[in-house]
Structure 1
Amino acid sequence: MTETQINSQKFQLRRKSLGSPTTRKPILISPKRKTLPLPIILRDGVDVTPKPLNPEIFTGGRERQLSVYDIGLERDRLETRASRSHSQSLNVFRTQSTVRFKPEYGKTRDDSNQYRGSVSQGSNFFDPIISDIEDEQASISNISVPLEPSKEIQEDRVKKIPSHISLILTETNTFFILDMPSCTAIKDTDEGNQVEEDNAQYEFLTEGKGKNRKTLSAEVQTFPIVMKTRSTFPEKVKTQTGTAFVSNWNMYDTYQATKETLTEESEESDEDSDFEYHKLDDLSSLDSYKLSADEKMMAKLMKNPRFLEAVCVIERLLANNCYNEEQKIFRALSVPDDFRENIEYKYKLRLLWTFSNDKTKGLSVNSVHWNPANKDICAVGYGKFYFHDNLPGLVMIWNIKNPVQPERNYSFDVPVTSVCFSSSNPILLAIGFYDGSIKVLNVVSRDIMIIGEKMPTYEPVWSVLWQYGRTERVHEELVGATFDDGRLCAYAVQRKLQEVKQMMRVAKADGKLKGYDVMKKCSNLTIPASRYSSALFARPHPVNNTVYFIGTNEGTIHKCSVNYLNQHLDIFLAHDGPVNQMKFSPFSNDIFATCGDDCSTRIWGEGISEPVLEFSLAMKSVEGFDWSPSHSTVIVTIQGTAIQIWDLQRKAYAPQSITESPTGSRNSVVQFTDSGRCLIVGDVDGYVHVFSLEDMPFPAFFQENLLFESIAKALVTNVDLLNKVKKLRRSETEEEPE
């Protein structure tokens, strides 16, 4: 290249760059990389040369507008290279476009015109640059200018993304999502006065004198509403008939698996909490806290209901090995041969087994009741409530399959006085307590599951029973309870026992009473502490559901009706002291017996004002008695430690046999089983003995006739009373066909 050509290029460059300041043309940015021609590839005469993928290799320039931000960045980069040689500056000047003048433009921006979107320089901008070029023209004439820029310059061309971007936020107009205007107004303002006027006008028209204003009925013709009928055809819903069979067992298995999972999780959480939380002042808690891993696992296993159920089954199997013959006798599977030789009637009692364990020792057996659905199960209530022995209460559910350990064990803080199973729902057990509270438990659960509860009062509960009565809703089975203050109340079974009504409250009897002829008492000038007698028991009539009897601690029996509240139909004196028990004969609805603390047992006829028969043996109170379900003339009584068997067919002045208690304790409860072959006796030390009756006479075919004949035989010397008994027999015979 000649010097003339170089000068011409200089002037051409000067001519292009020194444009008018008013002429703002876009600047062409030269390509960042020089593109070499690609070789052409032919295959079978077809051009298959691949097209370039990078758009930067095109030779054509791309047009963009420069900004002050770009010029400032380029100025900072070029200031770092101020010490470079003039040759390199010249090469850069020749190869770069007008963008390379941004540093110089930045330095002289105070003397030049203002930049507005494109490069427009004043006349003084290129003067120092041109002078430098003219001075060094000779030195660069022989220097070959490289066609490609250096690597550093190529890196400077790459535009970097700014690390910080400023955003300006401006406030917009306020808009409301929810607008609820107030319904109140401030008093003593225009709005408040208007509201008060409206309220006064409203009260005047609705409640004041304006309510009785003169009105006039008028008719008016309203504009008819034009209506059109429209109909459409919706798409038909596609249905498909499907069938499935699910048995009760499948449903049971499904829900049982879920229930067991939840039970295990709850048990694990309870057990963890039991071991984590403890009291330092509790010795048992310290002992449990010090348990080893094996002992904790054993304690966890003992709380598993499935494990307890398995243990119960194993105990039954083991008990069957020891009490197999006794269990057969109890279930009447092993009976003596009726055609055996040397038959003798000895009325003997054979001890089969005794229900007791360590927890029952020292507690008195207060009540025994057999389950009406399962005759192998009986509930026993324990508790001692004497003045010097006020011990906790206990309820145990015993099963003849396991005479050693109870099936259920419920502990209470208060002595238990009475228990009774429900007839309609045998899993419910009503329990009376000495503090006056009543609970209804579900015996299916091993833990205490309270179905209904009545809060305690001041007076003890002496007996509980289930009876049908009509409440406000339906005719349902109610829980009846007798209290020490003479009340008989009925409760509906709910979460909290709701008192339906107070059926009766027995008062002290005054004057001459019919019934047992007692000696005249001396006049008592003291004022009694209470006007009411203690209601010791309540017995429903076997035929008439509306009639029931209440025994008191004064020896009187009140005949009452559910239709007449707090009023008795009849009253008679049965004993000279508290009446302990009263039961109707299972073979006659007109014959019943009573026992009391006057050391005697009496047989009565309904409608007869005096006792039919009376028998006594020792000067001890008769704690209880029971009629035999298999022999109409056999009665069992308990006095002290003796168990007496009476047979009215044989003799009424002495028992047929007397059996002492195996433990030598005073007996408190006696009851036959439904078969009449076994007898259960409880004592004050917590033992419940199960006896079998052996060498008993054959049951009569006409049990009721035998009963009346035996009574008539004993009343041979009392003609008037005998005639009353015969009349009672005839009246009962006449009522039977109806």
Structure 2
Amino acid sequence: MPQKQTRKQSISATRGARKRDEDSGTDVGDGTDEWSQSRATVRPPDQLELTDAELKEEFTRILTANNPHAPQNIVRYSFKEGTYKAIGFVNQMAVHFSQVGNLIPKDSDEGRRQHYRAELAAGSQESAKVVTSETEVLEEDEEPKEAETEAGSQTDVPAAAETTEKVVEEELMAPVQPKERKLTNQFNFSERASQTFNNPLRDRECQMEPPPRTNFSATANQWEIYDAYVDELEKLEKTKEKEKTKTPVAKKTEKMAMRKLTSMESQSDDITKVTQAAKIVERMVNQNTYDDVAQDFKYYEDAADEYRDQEGTLLPLWKFQNDKAKRLAVTALCWNPKYKDLFAVGHGSYDFMKQSRGMLLLYSMKNPSFPEYIFSSESGIMCLDMHGDHPYLVVAGYYDGNVAIYNLKKPHSQPCFRSTSKSGKHTDPVWQVKWQKDDMDNNLNFFSVSSDGRIVSWTLVKSELVHTDVIKLKAEGSSATDIPEGLQLHTVGCGTAFDFHREIDYMFLVGTEEGKIYKCSKSYSSQFLDTYDAHNMAVDAVIWNPFHTKVFMSCSSDWTVKIWDHTIKTPMFIYDLNSAVGDVAWAPYSSTVFAAVTTDGKAHVFDLAVNKYEAICNQPVVAKKKNKITHVQFNPIHPIIIVGDDRGHITCLKLSPNLRKMPKEKKGQEVQKGPAVEIAKLDKLLNVVREVKTKT
């Protein structure tokens, strides 16, 4: 009966629960307790009340594998493209719980090794337990047989279980013998390094005290951030006021200088970019404008030379001029030793009463309309030379006696190094400068000659020009023997030109205003090796032959050009050009060809192998008769010459084929070329002249 009552109560309870589920109100069933009937739901006054339709509305929920906390705007730098790029794929894995366990799978290598070590340890321990177990077995056999009868009365099932347990215990008690490891063959084995892993990974752990921690809490509001910025500004203003009180003037000047420097640097960077682009465009325009001239320079040969045996012509190509160098005479010409299309021009004035500024311009045949480099000076430039190993270094001599070195790599227009009155500058105009080999300490070295009679060696030591007087020229017959020593007056010889021997390093020639040519040595400063009575007026140029080491040439304002053998005091050849000779130059391709320019505006080209009595080309180069040609130079590679006049113009002329004749081919013989052939060709002419002089 009590079981039936409980079943009835449970049925009534389930019915009451169903009624509660069906009712939509808050009424409570009859079977509930009294305390639950008096309980009422508490709602906030602003709770949203929904209708039955809204409550019964179903919302579909989709379960996705995306991590809502994963970042969506990760960017990484791409070294290939050089920019930051957004990453499209982001790892969506979210780790909720991770625990590092200490369980090892049995099938893994580490589990097998651990099991093997445990079996070895158990085998050693069980061998000791076997002896004790045998003694226990004997004691059990001596027990009374009553226990055996009681055990026999039990059922067969527990007896079978005991037998199985004994078999398992015997198997476990039996010592497990470890497998024997094969020994390596002592006569055939590999090195140990080949039997180890390559760079095995190792994990090391250590225990340490955790770093001390502190709790810090603060609030960051807009007014607190504002107050912090205001305090920082006040501190900065106080430090600035202290600095102003200490050095107010110096700081202002430094700031202004820094501002000027930064502005100038930024402007210079922009200007250099613009100038580079302008240069490229200018060259492109000139290439099209002077295309016919460039074609003549490269390919044109005068066909009329075939009908003229001993005559040649000069073809005008380009004309170089600059508005800034107007009415400044061309005082020096020099080709760049590395870039064969680049040459330097020095501008000044030979008139004592009309001395003004000077200019150093560098032109390129690729752009005849405007110079590549422009340098201005307060005094006129009278001479210049370009370094053979450092083609960007240009040394110049001025009319006021100074010398300076320009560096074409530096953009500013002032010379890098300049002599001063303290460093031993000349007191008269510098008429010629020449680079020489570096000294024993690899310092740059050049020589200069001036009208003050000094030949000075200049050395660039620690960004400073150091001078050494090599020799002082003295006019012959200047001192009389009858006059006492204290009253004697030594007149100084005025040097106008010089040139250094190409093989004998210490030997050089010096030409003077008196018409003398001195053969000097760098080692002897008090005497000359030899003296030549060369000309009746000032010597304008002295040049060694580029092939023959004994031959040199000189020209003078007495209208003559003379060719000398330095072992003979009399000239080998004399040429009268009927006008003052401004300059002469040997051709780089032949030992017998040279050019001379005169003040009447003509250029003369001689070839001693063709005609040793007259020039094979006499051609006026300057249009106006008043213009005077001052200098001439051969190009080292191309068959052209450049000629400068006293109006600041430079004219480029091409030599016709008759002016650059090479030895003709003979049947069955190859044409011999080289310095030895040129020396033999000039020696042949000199031997004829020597024989004539010995007979006379």
Shorter-chain TM-score bucket reads 0.5 to 0.7
Aligned to 2:340: 375
The 3 A distance-change label for structure 1 pair 720 and 324 is: farther
Q: Is the 8 A contact 2:305 2:657 kept in 1?
A: no
Q: Is the 8 A contact 1:385 1:391 kept in 2?
A: no
Aligned to 1:401: 366
Mapped partners of 2:308, 2:613: distance in 1: 24
Mapped partners of 1:302, 1:417: distance in 2: 34
5 Å-filtered alignment, 1:67-466, equals 269-270=263-264, 304-327=271-294, 330=297, 333-334=298-299, 336=301, 346-456=311-421, 457=425, 458-466=427-435
The 3 A distance-change label for structure 1 pair 335 and 708 is: farther
Q: Match of 1:373, SS?
A: coil
Superposition deviation, residue 649 in structure 1: 2.4
Mapped partners of 1:710, 1:614: distance in 2: 14
Mapped partners of 2:453, 2:320: distance in 1: 34
Mapped partners of 1:578, 1:662: distance in 2: 24
Aligned to 1:493: 460
Superposition deviation, residue 550 in structure 1: 1.4
When the two structures are aligned, how many residues end up with a matched partner? 415
CA RMSD of aligned residues (A): 3.2
Q: Which amino acid aligns with 1:654?
A: E
Aligned to 2:245: none
Aligned to 1:688: 650
Structure 2: segments with no counterpart, 5+ residues: 1-34, 37-205, 207-257, 479-486, 664-671
> 1:683-706: per-residue Cα shift (whole Å, max 9, x none)?
111011100001325213432222
2:468 maps to 1:468: no
The percent identity for this pair of structures is 24
Q: Is the 8 A contact 1:453 1:496 kept in 2?
A: no
> 1:491-517: per-residue Cα shift (whole Å, max 9, x none)?
122575432421111111239xxxxxx
2:587 maps to 1:625: no
> 1:209-244: per-residue Cα shift (whole Å, max 9, x none)?
xxxxxxxxxxxxxxxxxxxxxxxxxx9xxxxxxxxx
Q: Match of 2:384, SS?
A: strand
Superposition deviation, residue 711 in structure 1: 3.8
Mapped partners of 1:559, 1:341: distance in 2: 43
Aligned to 2:528: 568
Q: TM-score, normalised by structure 2?
A: 0.55
Mapped partners of 1:634, 1:326: distance in 2: 25
Superposition deviation, residue 565 in structure 1: 2.6
2:662 maps to 1:699: yes
Mapped partners of 1:361, 1:547: distance in 2: 39
Q: Match of 1:476, SS?
A: coil
Mapped partners of 2:465, 2:557: distance in 1: 35
Superposition deviation, residue 663 in structure 1: 3.2
Aligned to 2:30: none
Q: Which amino acid aligns with 2:364?
A: N
5 Å-filtered alignment, 1:701-720, equals 701=672, 702-713=677-688, 717-720=692-695
Q: Which amino acid aligns with 2:431?
A: W
Q: Which amino acid aligns with 1:629?
A: P
Superposition deviation, residue 410 in structure 1: 0.7
Mapped partners of 2:688, 2:391: distance in 1: 42
1:602 to 556, 562, 572: 562
Mapped partners of 1:558, 1:411: distance in 2: 34
Mapped partners of 1:401, 1:505: distance in 2: 44
Aligned to 1:616: 576
> 1:76-98: per-residue Cα shift (whole Å, max 9, x none)?
xxxxxxxxxxxxxxxxxxxxxxx
Superposition deviation, residue 344 in structure 1: 5.3
Q: Which amino acid aligns with 2:628?
A: R
Superposition deviation, residue 530 in structure 1: 5.8
Q: Is the 8 A contact 1:587 1:704 kept in 2?
A: yes
Q: Is the 8 A contact 1:582 1:595 kept in 2?
A: yes
Q: Match of 2:325, SS?
A: coil
Superposition deviation, residue 719 in structure 1: 4.0
Q: Which amino acid aligns with 1:488?
A: I
Mapped partners of 2:537, 2:488: distance in 1: 16
Mapped partners of 1:673, 1:647: distance in 2: 17
Q: Which amino acid aligns with 2:591?
A: S
Superposition deviation, residue 353 in structure 1: 0.7
Instruction: Determine which structure has the larger helix proportion and give its number.
Output: 2
Q: Match of 1:304, SS?
A: helix
Mapped partners of 1:685, 1:667: distance in 2: 9
Q: Which amino acid aligns with 2:586?
A: W
Mapped partners of 2:296, 2:260: distance in 1: 44
Superposition deviation, residue 682 in structure 1: 0.4
Q: Which amino acid aligns with 1:533?
A: G
Structure 1: segments with no counterpart, 5+ residues: 1-41, 44-234, 236-263, 273-299, 512-526, 722-738
Q: Is the 8 A contact 1:382 1:416 kept in 2?
A: yes
Superposition deviation, residue 709 in structure 1: 2.6
Q: Which amino acid aligns with 1:680?
A: I
Q: Match of 1:703, SS?
A: helix
Q: TM-score, normalised by structure 1?
A: 0.52
Aligned to 1:510: 477
Q: Is the 8 A contact 1:365 1:381 kept in 2?
A: yes
Q: Is the 8 A contact 1:627 1:635 kept in 2?
A: yes
Q: Is the 8 A contact 1:361 1:685 kept in 2?
A: yes
The 3 A distance-change label for structure 1 pair 309 and 678 is: same
Superposition deviation, residue 538 in structure 1: 2.2
Mapped partners of 1:677, 1:530: distance in 2: 48
Q: Which amino acid aligns with 1:630?
A: Y
The 3 A distance-change label for structure 1 pair 308 and 611 is: same
5 Å-filtered alignment, 1:581-600, equals 581-600=541-560
Aligned to 1:71: none
Q: Is the 8 A contact 2:362 2:371 kept in 1?
A: yes
